[in-house]
Amino acid sequence: KNQVEQSPQSLIILEGKNCTLQCNYTVSPFSNLRWYKQDTGRGPVSLTIMTFSENTKSNGRYTATLDADTKQSSLHITASQLSDSASYICVVSANFGNEKLTFGTGTRLTIIP
Amino acid sequence: DTGVSQNPRHKITKRGQNVTFRCDPISEHNRLYWYRQTLGQGPEFLTYFQNEAQLEKSRLLSDRFSAERPKGSFSTLEIQRTEQGDSAMYLCASSLAGRPYGYTFGSGTRLTVV
């Protein structure tokens, strides 16, 4: 069964600090891995998307890594801001041609001043 | 085109009533997806369309749920005889086949069944 597991479930950090969120997956055949940010009551917004051949991708203060051998990914947030408070969802796409996505349950990040 | 649009944003209904949600995808996108998301969980796949054809339906999509995309543009999701367990955020997403980078979600419709 295709699964995506994220850790930690929740995280609280001080504004300005860095943090790293983890994602492990068992999705086959692998197509791509995405990180989304979801504010409360809103739809998910894409941060990064990586294919099998990519092992790192940045989007501003967000840097995602991918190890396709160990089936692990991480999302590193640098110099956190209050607006980073949100759920971060790891999503893996299986290569069935229909972009069928398997979602993790997310990490709830809270930035405190 | 400002992205994927969903209406209404919020819906409160009494148990047993029917509700219908609408999704307007990004205009050039030929694929449209419906998801359901409950609190603290990731979105769960319900169904998807390529143009007007409904190509896949999840087991989560019971007989009370029906989705249409009659002209290959906007889509509707109807829930008949709503139950309290139907309370969730219903998300729509659209994409262009073969182009995963453009996969875009709407802001969702929050359904509360009382």
Kindly report the nearest CA distance between residue B43 and chain A, in angstroms: 6
Please give the distance of CA B42 from its chain centroid, rounded to a whole number. Answer: 15
Residue window 78-97, chain A: list those with CB within 8 Å of chain B: 89, 91, 93
CB contact under 8 A, B44 and A31: no
Q: What is the pLDDT of residues A55-113, one digit of tens each?
A: 999 999 999 999 999 999 999 999 999 999 999 999 998 876 666 788 999 999 999 99
Give the model's pLDDT for residue B32.
95
Residue B1: pLDDT over 60: no
CA distance A62 to B28: 29
Q: Which residues of A57-82 are buried (b: 16+ CB within 10 A; e: fewer)?
A: beeeebbbbbebeebebbbebeebee
Closest Cα partner for A4 from A33, A36, A39, A46? A33
Q: What is the pLDDT of residues B72-85, one digit of tens each?
A: 899 999 999 999 99
Q: Which of A41, A89, A98 sits opposite B110 (nearest CB)?
A: A41
Q: What is the pLDDT of residues B41-57, one digit of tens each?
A: 999 999 999 999 999 89
